[in-house]
Amino acid sequence: MENFKNLPIIKKLGFNRIILVCVLILMYFLFSLGSGRMLGSGDIKNALNMVDYLGFLALGVTFVIATGGIDFSIGPVMVCAGLIAGRLLVTFGWPLWLVLIMCVVVGALFGVVNGILVAYMGLPSFISSMASMMLAKGVGSVFTHVQNSNWPASGAENSWYKYLVTYNGFPTGLVFLLVVAVICAILLNKTKVGRYILCIGSNREAVRLSGVDTRKWEALAYVICGTLAGIAAITYVGVITQVQPGLGDEFNNNAIASCVMGGTSMAGGVASIGGTIIGVLIISLLRVGIQAMGFRPDYQYIITGIIVALAVFADIRSSRRKK
């Protein structure tokens, strides 16, 4: 086994990532078996719809978890951005391109708020991001007067934003996500931002004593996260069309579960964009599979909860062994 792990090709791809892909394939067949039919293109399309927005959320929160923090506001922020932008588009008649940019701006603003709360004011990230989750939910519903935001349906005027998710059956959303994922991977591994974010998660004090402004870089992780939640809003409305206020917190948990499953450590310092994407695929397939097998979708909550607990437990165990 150790030998196998040390093969150059395995090392390059990452042993854990290979295991995860195997899990993904295995799950596909298990669900097919369980539901008594091969999961077809319809199911895959369903899964991909979820991947489209969940992916961006998970990518964003990967940066925050890499610093050793957490962000519970991403899902509601995404919904909030969708609501605000939708109302701007439909009620105020803003041009679509501007509205899409607004999605990202709203997300980034929440990121800035979270960054200030955590990095500059020193609040514990989990509780302060829960507070900003409330803010996001509230702001979203206040702005729309607790009405749904109805984005233009397919084929209607101003519906080209849907092409960002699918174009004549071609999954543009997946391509969009993968492109952003590649950018995130570069950002995390090849730039100063990513380097400092990872190092802060690993040993904040050593980085500070190297003369680095740790607060700035930590805050930036939350801004990146918020911005990606804003981008997620674009694909979210592309899939959902009709955005309801007050939703969004279930996406947090799925996004966080995707990260920890993909090998990003809750303790900070270790993060994998590729792992996160595979994690997102697994979580999305899980949802579709559970439905295909005729179970209530609520099973997903339980399974997600157990996955997170086990992943974090395994992470704690392995880091203790290293010491």
Token duo for residue 95: 């041009």
Asked if 209 touches other proteins (CB under 8 A), the answer is yes
**Helix, strand, coil distribution of the chain in percent, nearest 5:** 75, 0, 25
- Evaluate the CA torsion angle 252, 258, 261, 262 in order and state its sign: negative
CA distance 32 to 9: 30
For other proteins, the binding residues in 263-302 under the rule CB under 8 A are: 266, 269-270, 296, 298-302
- Give the residue with the Cβ less far from other proteins, 129 or 166: 129
Asked if 199 touches other proteins (CB under 8 A), the answer is yes
Asked if 11 touches other proteins (CB under 8 A), the answer is no
- Give the residue with the Cβ less far from other proteins, 48 or 57: 57
For other proteins, the binding residues in 34-93 under the rule CB under 8 A are: 70
Mark the segment that binds other proteins (CB under 8 A) among 10-18, 118-126, 156-164, 166-174: 118-126
Residue 38 Cβ, how far from other proteins at the closest point, in Å? 27
CA distance 77 to 9: 40
Q: Residue 284 in contact with residue 30, Cβ under 8 Å?
A: no
Concatenate the DSSP letters of all residues of 229-296 into one string.
Answer: HHHHHHHHHHHHSEEPTT--HHHHHHHHHHHHHTT--TTSS---HHHHHHHHHHHHHHHHHHHHTT--
Collapsed DSSP state (helix, strand, coil) of residue 16: helix
Asked if 146 touches other proteins (CB under 8 A), the answer is yes
Residue 168 Cβ, how far from other proteins at the closest point, in Å? 34
Q: Residue 56 in contact with residue 74, Cβ under 8 Å?
A: no
Asked if 205 touches other proteins (CB under 8 A), the answer is yes
Asked if 25 touches other proteins (CB under 8 A), the answer is no
Q: Given candidates 182, 186, 242, 318, which one binds other proteins under the rule CB under 8 A?
A: 186
CA distance 323 to 273: 26
The beta-strand segments (E) located in 139-210 are 149-150
Residue 156 Cβ, how far from other proteins at the closest point, in Å? 28
Residue 153 Cβ, how far from other proteins at the closest point, in Å? 26
Asked if 120 touches other proteins (CB under 8 A), the answer is no
Asked if 314 touches other proteins (CB under 8 A), the answer is no
∠ CA(63), CA(226), CA(159), 5° rounding?
A: 125
Q: Given candidates 196, 222, 236, 251, which one binds other proteins under the rule CB under 8 A?
A: 196
Asked if 156 touches other proteins (CB under 8 A), the answer is no
Asked if 139 touches other proteins (CB under 8 A), the answer is yes
CA distance 196 to 242: 39
CA distance 240 to 229: 15
Residue 249 Cβ, how far from other proteins at the closest point, in Å? 5
Asked if 109 touches other proteins (CB under 8 A), the answer is no
Q: Which residues bind other proteins (CB under 8 A)?
A: 70, 117, 121-124, 126-128, 130-135, 137-142, 146, 186, 190-192, 195-196, 198-199, 202-203, 205-213, 245-246, 249-250, 253, 266, 269-270, 296, 298-306, 308-309, 312-313, 316, 322
